[in-house]
Amino acid sequence: MAYNLLKGKRGIIFGALDENSIAWKTAERVHEEGGTFVLTNAPIAMRMGQIKELAEKTGSEIIPADATSEEDLNNLVAKATEILGGKLDFVLHSIGMSVNVRKGRAYTDEKYDFTAKGWDVSALSFHKVMQSLYKADAMNQWGSIVALTYMAAQRTFPDYNDMADNKAYLESVARSFGYFFGKEKQVRVNTISQSPTPTTAGQGVKGFGGFIAYADKMSPLGNATAQDCADYTVSLFSDLTKKVTMQNLFHDGGFSNTGVSQEVIEHFTEE
């Protein structure tokens, strides 16, 4: 169901790779709600994914950008405002990558140049994106910037590896930059801490299938899907959440506040 929540609003969506990705589903929902946007991803991800299909479906243009490159981001911001015909109202940062995870390196055996690369892509890029937007004065008042995170920033999930540190840094950037963006531009900055979601990126984590099942049994409402996350993101882009900023918002069916569930007790109780 569409409510025209984003009618007349313009933005940038980072990280749509394929139809499993949260950014992809969010782009579809934003389009349904009347928003217009440019899509962006790293050139290599664009070759791997199906972003052209999404662009056609939503009437959007694609601007390739490496989110770790200030030059690329400055170019992206300038072109996006030109294409869309004005300042931006929303930005979604949906980017994460760990070279250590990809290469099968344990947390206790990190290769630090891999760590630095993953941190740059997954966390520092959020600061770089916001700094580009801030310096260009590219956001409208009451605009909304959202990044996707995960609860491994607060609690330990052994196989999440160095991505946990990246997410903790990402959430800190949201608070710190959120203060300046709020004070000086009336722009909101929040992170959504999403349930484990079977996206192409998420499935790279070891033991992911078992963990999704566990989280589902632990959450009173069950896991939040990528589609659910797209809906929640739309609400944060809308004018209905104007005073929500510098928050890390758990979107996980109640997992984050559940000590243990009946289903999990039963699983470990021998008859």
Give me the residue spans of the domains in the chain. Answer: 10-268
Per-residue pLDDT of the chain (271 residues; tens, 9 = 90+): 899 999 999 999 999 999 999 999 999 999 999 999 999 999 888 887 799 999 999 999 999 999 999 999 999 999 999 999 999 999 999 999 999 999 999 999 999 999 999 999 999 999 999 999 999 999 999 999 999 999 999 999 998 999 999 999 999 999 999 999 999 999 999 999 999 998 877 776 777 888 899 999 999 999 999 999 999 999 999 999 999 999 999 999 999 999 999 999 999 997 6
Question: Which residue among 160, 179, 214, 232 is the active-site one?
Answer: 160
Per residue, the 3-state secondary structure of 27-43, as one string, reads: HHHHHHCCCEEEEECCH
Note if 160 is an active site residue.
yes
User: Residues annotated in the binding site for NAD(+), as ranges?
Assistant: 15, 21-22, 95, 167
Catalytic residue among 112, 134, 150, 169: 150
Q: Write down the CATH number for the domain with range 10-268.
A: 3.40.50.720
Could you tell me which residues are annotated as the binding site? 15, 21-22, 95, 167
Query: And the tokens for 178?
Result: 């959120």
Helix (H, G, I), strand (E, B) or coil at 12: strand
**Which is nearest to 146 in space by CA: 225, 235, 208?**
235
Please indicate, yes or no, whether the overall pTM of this predicted structure exceeds 0.75. yes
